A and B are shown apart, each in its own frame.
Chain A
Amino acid sequence: MRCQDCQELFSLYLDGEIDQISRSNVDSHFASCPQCKTEWQAFKNSIDFLRGMPMASVPPDFLTGIHQKLEPRTPWQTVKEFLTGKGEKKWALSTAFAMLVIGFVTASLIQLIPFTPTDRDSKTPSALQSGQMAENNRNTAQSPLVLAENEGGKGGQQDFYPGVPLLSEYEGKDSPVMQQLAMVPRRKTEQHIPTVDFVSTGAGHASSPYLDAPFGSFASQQQIPAIKPDLQITIHAAPRAEQMAIVKQIVQSPLWRAELYDHSTLLLSVPASSYDQLLQICCAEKTSLSPEYARNTRYISLKRFLTVAVKLD
């Protein structure tokens, strides 16, 4: 018998579950192999000690506890146990507290996330005329292009400034806020000449008071968010090289930010103070403006940035 075979029989040998022949083989192996004999002794000592280990006594109220658990509980008892933390439910209170803390932290974080406003004032055309322009002025420090993209949503009825009255509600009051908000419409009684901000763009542009009728390219590109430029400059210069020279000057100017909107249109974010320079580049006989009176800088509002669409004819 090999030593490994002998040691594999230790357990059965100890429990008396071994047959007579195997027992004789193990006994004769022990007689000839002192190492296996030593291993066997260690094996037997370990298990004997284990079997001789004392057992713990059962707590005195053990059976009573079982009967209590078997009794049907009233809802009040269930709540009481939950609150006092008996048995397994002792974790429930701490878990509930942890969840409350997590909920509070999450709610706080959500408050910190900047929101994306939608056109809540798109309910009626009159609202567009008053409230939406005022709404834009809340973020005048941002790029007008970004503003335009944000306004692409539909049907937003939610008030994103809870507790703050709509700017349209300020109308008719001589509030200092009204002076600071350049996009807020001025009354005709105060200023008889219309500014660019009040350009009427015709019946086809209900979504934007700034968008002029010839902007077919925008309307046809459904995948591009609706942009609401304050005015449009169309370059009629011919030949093409001359057209491109004007475009190049516009694009290279550091005074404003230019972005390509589609294959024939640029969108410019022009500070009101630089509007003169833009007009100088766009020579009168080679370009047309919509509205045309925007060529006179007197009619440019105090708005800090103008969104200008430059279109190649």
Chain B
Amino acid sequence: MNKDESKTETEQLVQDFLDGDAQAFNRLVMLYQTKIYNLALNYVKSQEEAKDLAQDIFVTVYRSLPKLREKEKFTSWLYQIAINHCRNRYKKLSRRGYFSNVSLDDEESFLQIAGDEGPEKLLQRKNTINLVRATIDSMAEAEKEIILLRDIQELAYEEISDILHIPLGTVKSKLNRARTSLKDRLKKHYQDL
């Protein structure tokens, strides 16, 4: 399903839900759950916490959806809610020292890397993924967020502008700075990429 089809389907599902079709909400969840769950996972680093966080995001969406005025901006609105929830949960867990107990191995154990490469190649690829994730985590919060939204969540510049409440030009310049920062941090490991 390409992006335009997905957008049209989203708008239709939102309208159905507002018209009283309870199943439309389930289909909306199915459409976005993987992305929202992975976004949450990038903040909280644990499957259980990410599941709870992503579920809370959808609960908020369910309760607030009738108040959404611009139905065509559902995706931006959903991500605004998601980012706010993620930031709040991240702060709360940080204050409690939660992240000092979570190791990278725990974080990556949920990734199922499939492929027809040999075990050696798979292990190498898993190590590289760990390295890239650790590098993203070490970046400043604003840089990390914009990279997640653009390169992991594959959102458009305009959507990122709406979600983060920053002008389009700022999105472009910030994204370039964040990506350049990532490239510089990964430079010494290029042979692995």
A residues bordering B, Cβ < 8 Å?
7-12, 14-15, 17, 39, 42-43, 45-47, 49-51, 53-59, 62-63, 65-66, 69-70, 87-88, 91
Question: Is the CB–CB distance between B110 and A56 below 8 Å?
Answer: yes
22 A-B pairs with CB atoms under 8 Å apart are: A7-B180, A11-B176, A12-B176, A14-B179, A42-B187, A46-B183, A47-B151, A50-B151, A50-B182, A51-B152, A53-B152, A54-B111, A54-B112, A55-B35, A55-B38, A56-B38, A57-B34, A58-B34, A69-B55, A69-B56, A70-B62, A88-B92
Contact of A45 among B34, B52, B111, B193 (CB under 8 A): B193
Q: Which residues of B contact A (CB under 8 A)?
A: 26, 29-30, 33-35, 37-38, 41, 47, 51-52, 54-56, 58-59, 62, 92, 96, 110-114, 128-129, 132-133, 136, 147, 151-152, 154, 157, 172-173, 175-176, 179-180, 182-183, 186-187, 190, 193
In the complex, are the beta carbons of B176 and A56 less than 8 A apart? Answer: no
On whether the beta carbons of A46 and B112 are closer than 8 Å, the reply is: no
Known A45-B193, A59-B47; judge A54-B113 contact (CB<8 A).
yes
State in angstroms the CA–CA spacing of A50 and B180 once bound together. Answer: 13
**B151 adjacent to A51 (CB under 8 Å):** yes
The DSSP consensus for interface residues of chain B is: helix
Give A11's nearest chain B residue, CB to CB: B176
Q: How far is the CA of A17 from the CA of B114 in the complex (A)?
A: 32
Chain B residues with Cβ under 8 A from A62's Cβ? 29, 33, 37, 51, 54-55
A17 to B157, Cβ gap below 8 A?
Answer: yes
Which among B29, B157, B182 is the interface contact of A63 at CB below 8 angstroms?
Answer: B29
B33 touches A42 (CB 8 A): no
Closest residue of chain A to B35, judged by CB?
A: A55
Q: Given A49-B193, A50-B151, A63-B26, are A55 and B34 neighbors across the interface (CB < 8 Å)?
A: yes
CB distance from A52 to the nearest CB of B (A): 10
Of A43, A53, A69, which contacts B183 at CB under 8 A?
A43
Once the chains are docked, how many angstroms separate the CA of A66 from the CA of B60? 10
Cβ–Cβ contact B186 & A46, under 8 A: yes
Chain B: minimal CB distance from A15 (Å): 8
Instruction: Determine if A46 and B152 form an interchain contact, defined as CB atoms under 8 angstroms apart.
Output: no
Q: A56-B111, A63-B29 are in contact. Are A42 and B183 (CB under 8 A)?
A: yes
Query: Would you list the 3 A-B pairs with minimal beta carbon distance, nearest first?
Result: A11-B176, A46-B183, A56-B110
Q: A59-B47, A63-B30 are in contact. Are A50 and B152 (CB under 8 A)?
A: yes
A residues within 8 A CB of B58?
66
Contact between A69 and B33 (Cβ–Cβ < 8 Å)? Answer: no
CA distance A10 to B173 in the complex (A): 10
Chain A nearest CB, measured from B57 CB (Å): 9
- Give A87 to B44 CA distance when docked, in angstroms: 13
B182 neighbours in A (Cβ, 8 Å)? 46-47, 50
Q: Closest Cβ of chain A: how far from B157's Cβ, in Å?
A: 7
Contacts of A42 in B (CB 8 A): 183, 186-187, 190
Contacting residues, chain B, for A55 (C-beta < 8 A): 34-35, 38
Residues of A within 8 A of B54 (CB): 58, 62
| Given known A46-B182, A58-B33, contact A53–B129 (CB-CB < 8 A) | yes
| Structural contact, A66 and B29, CB atoms closer than 8 A | yes
Which residues from chain B contact A56 at a C-beta distance below 8 Å? 37-38, 41, 47, 110-112
Q: Which residue of B lies closest to A10 (CB)?
A: B176
**B42: nearest residue on chain A (CB-CB)?**
A56
Q: Considering the chains assembled together, what is the distance between the CA atoms of A235 and B10 in angstroms?
A: 103
Whether B132 pairs with A50 at a CB distance below 8 angstroms is yes
Which chain B residues lie closer than 8 Å to A39 at the CB level?
A: 183
Closest to A61 in B: B51
B172 to chain A, nearest CB (A): 6
In the bound complex, how far is the Cα of B173 from the Cα of A7, in angstroms? 11
Contact A57 B112 (CB under 8 A): yes
A70 contacts B59, CB within 8 Å?
A: yes
Q: Which residues of B contact A91 (CB under 8 A)?
A: 96
Contacts of B26 in A (CB 8 A): 63
